[in-house]
Amino acid sequence: LDAPLPFYLTSDKKSFAWPSVVERYPIILTQAIDDMHRTISSLPADSPKLPEGKKIIAGIAALKHEEQHDRVLTPLPDDGDADVKDYNDELKYWNEREGREITWFSGPWLYVECYLYRRLHSLFAQSEHWKSYDLFHRQKTDTFRSSAAAVNELAVRFGELVRDLESHKGLTRDAEAQKLLFLEMAQISLWGNATDLSLLTNLSYEDIQKLQGKEAIAKSAANILVNNLDKAWGFISQLKGGRIDFVLDNAGFELFADLIFATYLLETNHAQTIVLHPKDFGWFVSDVLPADVAHCFSQLRDSTFFTPEDRSAMDFLIERWMEHYAEGRIVIRPNHFWTTGHSYWRLPTCAPELHADLQESDLVIFKGDLNFRKLTGDAMWPRTTPWTNAIGPLATSGLRTLSLRTAKADVMVGLREGLEEELDQKDTKWAVNGKFAVVFYHDAKK
């Protein structure tokens, strides 16, 4: 149940996989060690966490050594988590498929990268006092703090939007303005995943009202290589009181942007329920853990964390979110499948209950790059491959899906003939630098 093509391998020097294993992962592990040192340095000398913390540091250092020396991937120890067998069976599967023991620098990139975070997690799972410690919390927090300007702006924008919807003036009546508003909100969520936030659409209330927002939207839409947002609007515009799921990606600014999009869907009554799918443990550094949602609220509330330009706009937004959350319209639903190494080609077979739950949803939104890699199996598709071929079983799975992705890894599909060559001429890093995006909508409920 895998894509019938070779996968991106970490040995592929032309792909972003190679600098990832050679440079990026050792840096991530070094930062992890640094984080642990900082945490244990503030513990009292007699803390029971101290000896265990030191043991974890030694474990991360050993993992870094294995990684940098291109050792074979070893089975996970039985650390008590339910997914150990699953990871180890998959490792066996790859070893058999490749006819050799795969190593850090010569394995399928998707599996190797997931395995890295699972190995890190194992060190904490085996401890007594560090089980729920988030190794990447500091980094996530620092990055969020540095996006203060964009956060402030969106908070103000959101306040205007809700007030406008409530007064039932202007926007709500005009079909064209409604569509522009949807495009703006969806693009805020899309570009929230970018490395370069300058691409975020910035519409003022007046812009939208006068429909001048078209220009700003068109400008940032120019970097969206395939854009199915019109199709998605075709569905959402007629949806009333539905359920919309977000398979989340990163904490901090992206989560903030996703919550703005989600709240827009609730406030306009297109959705009655929003289901958020976070990760179970520190994942690809910045991914959302359940606790990050609460952190996001408390950081926004804390005037020493962000100095809000408009405290009342921020408070209004938080109050609104808390209300939706308290009344069960925003739900957080973890599932261990999201932190396996499986591509979503295997969702129906490896996670049938999760699949059945997602079938209940009116629309499942997959955020970000890793979700896109999993949707397409991280296989070396010709870049003009139709979306419905690239997502395999999900094309006929009974799910209605929307993938919002800024491109940070090599896999890419759905491009029109000749576009890849045009992009190569302009920018050799176009596929991985996070400046370009793709939006795919597919309705497999029909």
Q: Restricting to residues 271-310, name those near Mg ion by CB under 5 A.
A: 284, 287
3-state secondary structure (DSSP) of residue 195: coil
Query: What single-letter DSSP state applies at residue 344?
Result: G
By CB under 6 A, is residue 250 in contact with ligand F6P?
yes
**Cα dist. 15→7, 196, 379, 432 in Å?**
11, 21, 12, 9
Nearest partner of 323 among 176, 84, 162, 438, judged by Cα = 162
270 or 367, CB closer to Mg ion?
A: 367
Name the binder of 321 from ligand F6P, Mg ion, none, CB < 5-8 A by kind: none
118 sits near ligand F6P (criterion: CB under 6 A): no
Measured from the CB atom, is 317 or 407 closer to ligand F6P?
Answer: 407
Q: Which is nearer to Mg ion, 90 or 113 (CB)?
A: 113
CB of 20 to ligand F6P, least distance (A): 6
Work out how close the CB of 235 gets to ligand F6P at its nearest, in angstroms, rounded to a whole number.
24
Q: Considering the rule CB under 6 A, would residue 411 count as an interface residue with ligand F6P?
A: no
Residues 267-306 that bind ligand F6P (CB under 6 A): 284
- Our finding on whether 249 is near Mg ion (CB under 5 A) is yes
Cβ at position 405, least distance to Mg ion in Å: 11
d(C-alpha 286, C-alpha 368), whole Å: 12
Give the integer Cα–Cα distance in Å for 102 and 445.
39
CB of 251 to Mg ion, least distance (A): 9
CB-count burial class (<10 Å; 0-12, 13-18, 19+) for 353: exposed
- The answer to whether residue 229 forms part of the interface with ligand F6P (CB under 6 A) is no
Contact 331, 276 (CB under 8 A): yes
DSSP string, 71-126: PBPPPPP--S-TTHHHHHHHHHHHHHHHTS--BTTSSBHHHHHHHHHHHHHHHHHT
Q: Which stretch binds ligand F6P (CB under 6 A): 328-336, 362-370, 383-391, 421-429?
A: 362-370
Q: How far is the CB of 282 from Mg ion (least distance, A)?
A: 11
Write the CA distances from 116 to 60, 281, 297, integer angstroms: 11, 12, 30
Q: Which of 249, 258, 292, 362 binds ligand F6P (CB under 6 A)?
A: 249
CA distance 79 to 401: 34
Q: Which of residues 270 and 374 has its CB atom nearest to Mg ion in the complex?
A: 374
Taken in order 249, 253, 258, 263, is the CA torsion positive or negative?
positive
> Coil, strand or helix: which one is 153?
helix
Under the criterion CB under 6 A, does residue 436 sit at the interface with ligand F6P?
Answer: no
Least Å from the CB of residue 410 to ligand F6P: 9
Residue 281 contact, options ligand F6P, Mg ion, none, Cβ 5-8 Å cut-off depending on partner type: none
Query: Residue 290 Cβ, how far from Mg ion at the closest point, in Å?
Result: 15
Determine the distance from the C-alpha atom of residue 60 to the mean position of all C-alpha atoms in its chain, rounded to a whole number: 25
Rounded to whole angstroms, the Cα distance separating 90 from 417 reads 36
Shortest reach from residue 3's CB to Mg ion, in Å: 22
Q: Is 246 in the site for Mg ion (CB under 5 A)?
A: no
Residues lying near Mg ion in the complex (CB under 5 A): 249-250, 284, 287
> Residues in the site for ligand F6P, rule: CB under 6 A?
16, 20, 113, 193, 249-250, 284, 368-370, 373, 408-409, 432
